[in-house]
Structure 1
C-alpha cells in the first residue's frame, strides 16, 4: 500500500499523516511546485511537469496541471508501479491536484490497482477560479465517486470547531487524516 499526496494540499496531508504516526515509507508526495516538496516530510518526493511549470506550480490552472501530468506520465506510472493498493490525497480546486487526481484514477484502473481517494473541495471564500476548477474536476471524477471521498473544507472547518487562525489548515488536515484517511477500507485492511 502507498499513500500518495498530490499537489499542495495532498503534500500537506502526507505531512500530517506522517506526523500522526503513519510510517514514512508508505507515503509519497507528488507536486509541480518544488518549494512545496522541499517542506514535505515524505522520503519519496517527485516533482512533475518540470518543463511545463519550471518548478513553480500550476497557478491554479487545470490546463497547466493536465499538461504537467502528460509531460510526466511515464514518471507517474513508475511511481505507482508494483503497488496493489493506493490511497490518493488531493484537493480539487488547484491545478496540480485537480488534474493529476483523474490521471492517477485512470492509471489505477488500467493497471488493476485497488484505490481510494480523498478529494478536498476549496473554501467558499477561495474564489470563483478554484470553485470552477473544483466543479470541473468533480465532473471528471463522477464515475468514480464510490472510490473517491469528497470533503468540503468549509464543512470540515465547522466540524473541527476551530477559529479562523493560522492553524486552521492544520486542524482541518488533522481531522481529514484521523477521521477520513484512517477510516478508509484500504487503510484499515493493511494497518489494523
Structure 2
C-alpha cells in the first residue's frame, strides 16, 4: 500500500471524528439536548462543509480555481486563528501548578495511553493490521485536541483545566506516541 492509502484512511478517520466533535462533543459541552440545540449542532458550518466536501469527493467535482483558492486560504487562516485563541488562553495557566494537577494527569493518561492502547488491542483482535491499523492508531495517540479549549470558550466554561490537559498531553505525547507505535510494531 502506498502513502495515498494512508492519506485516504486518515481523512476518513478525521471526517468521522469531526462529525462527532461538532455534534455530540459540542452538545456535551453545552449541556443542552433540546431539539433546537440538536438542530443547531447538526447544521453548524463544519458539518455542512464536511458534507459538501464528501459530495465533491464522491462525484469527483473540482472547484473552479478562484473558489478553490479562497477555501484553501480560509482553511489555513482557521488553523492559525484557533492556535492564537488557544495560545492566549494558555497564558491563564500558572506554570508553577501546571505539573501538579492530579486531575489533569488523569486526563492525559486516559487520552495519551489508555484510549490508544485500548484501540490498538481492539483493532488487533479484530484482525486490522498494517497501514489501516497505523492510520487509525496515530490520530488516537495524538495529544488532546484544541477543541476542548475552543468549546470551553464557546460555551462559557472554565478554560484553565482543558488548557492544562492539552498542554500536558502535548508534552507527554513526545514519549507516548513513540511508545504506542512501538507497541503496534511489536504486535
Q: TM above 0.5, one fold?
A: no
| TM-score, length basis structure 2 | 0.29
**Bigger relative contact order (CA 8 A; separation at least 6):** 2
| TM-score, length basis structure 1 | 0.28
**Larger fraction in helix:** 2
**Larger fraction in strand:** 1
- Greater radius of gyration (CA): 2
